[in-house]
Amino acid sequence: MSEPHVFADAYIRSLTRRCLAISPARQQAFVAAFAGYGLAGPAVFFLLVLFLAPVVGVFFIALTDWQLGAGSFSFVGLANYREAFEDATFRASLANTAVYVLIVVSGTLLTGLVVALLIESRKSCRSFYRAVHFLPFMATVTTMAIVWEALLHPTMGLVNQIFAAIGVPTANWLRNENTVLPVLGAFGIWQNLGYAMVLFLAGLKTIPRDLYDAADVDGADLWIDRLHTVTLPLLGPVSMFIVIGVTLRALECFDAVKVLTQGGPGDASEVLLYTLYRESFEYLRTGYGAAIAVVFLAVVGTLTLINALVMDRKVHYQ
């Protein structure tokens, strides 16, 4: 009966000798690794709970017909995805989102660069102009959307009054299928202008003045020549960062559509996030809304990878 106890005592003594034989360097490495895992543990836990778990939940709900508040559901497989791509409203929101992103990204990139170059060329009041152009980026979207709605009012709006005074045709900008999406795009450009301007100003500060002097010696003495040969190539990494950031912000367009157009007229201003919101929280079709959310995540991930992998090769110089 004593043999098991003898074996256990021998094993414990052997394990103790091995632990004591560990070198001080290995003991320090073990303590450091233990401390690292202990410090990273809470962050990893909250990452799993607050990010990965909801994403997994969305993928799971997208495979069901669950409605918000319902006590039961059934699995429908890929039926929600098939319904989405057969739905004319969803296809319109997908196309409108692509057009909106194209308008906002290209417009923000161009206007941000122009404003940054103009501010950098001035000798005084730079801080004032930077603050003025950066204010829209800091303001709440809902508040600014209400201001834009007042400015674009078909009868009392300042925009139509100015156009009428100078003889330019007026329009009901937010209720016209041909103008509503460009107007929303202009709002997005105005909102993101300060973001692009600040980054371009930072990028311009990093360009050595010696390169402009060398360009003058080589015959590039006009501003357009210096812009083409020096400024734009060296602003490549900053431009890529702006494109990625503004693309993600444009894909998240919701507040302006909710306040200004509610997706109308018709489906002319329907975008992905507004369609997701309406299907999930107005029509309570949570399973269908989750499928739209999965498509949205796929679009965001694809565009991010394209920007990071393709553009990165074009803007970095060895």
Q: What tokens does 142 get? A: 């809902």
pLDDT at 9 over 80: no
Beta bridge partners, 64, equal: 75
Q: How far is CA 307 from CA 68, 271, 272, 274, in A?
A: 36, 21, 20, 25
Q: Mean per-residue pLDDT for 84-103?
A: 94
Indicate whether 2 pLDDT > 70.
no
| Rounded Cα–Cα distance for residues 273 and 256 (Å) | 11
Task: Name the residue among 294, 278, 133 with its Cα closest to residue 200.
Answer: 133
Residues with Cβ within 8 Å of 88's Cβ and at least 6 positions away in sequence, in order, are 267
pLDDT at 187: 95
Give residue-wise pLDDT tens across range 126-152: 788 888 888 888 888 888 999 999 999
DSSP state of 310: I
- Answer whether 292's CB lies under 8 Å from 272's CB: yes
Per-residue model confidence (pLDDT) at position 175? 92
Predicted confidence band at 58 (pLDDT cuts at 50, 70, 90)?
very high
Q: What percent of the chain has a predicted confidence (pLDDT) above 90?
A: 45
Check if the beta carbon of residue 295 is closer than 8 Å to that of residue 82.
no
Residue linked to tokens 């371009």: 200
Q: pLDDT digits over 180-206, tens only? A: 999 999 999 999 999 999 999 999 988
Q: Are 256 and 316 in contact (CB under 8 A)?
A: no
Asked whether residue 215 carries a pLDDT value surpassing 70, the answer given is yes
| Stretch (H or E) spanning 147 | helix 141-151
Flag whether pLDDT at 311 surpasses 80.
no
The rounded distance, in Å, linking the Cα atoms of 106 and 243 is 8
248-260 pLDDT, tens digit each: 999 999 999 999 9
Beta pairing partners, 115: none
The mean predicted confidence, pLDDT, of the chain is 85
| Prediction pTM value | 0.83
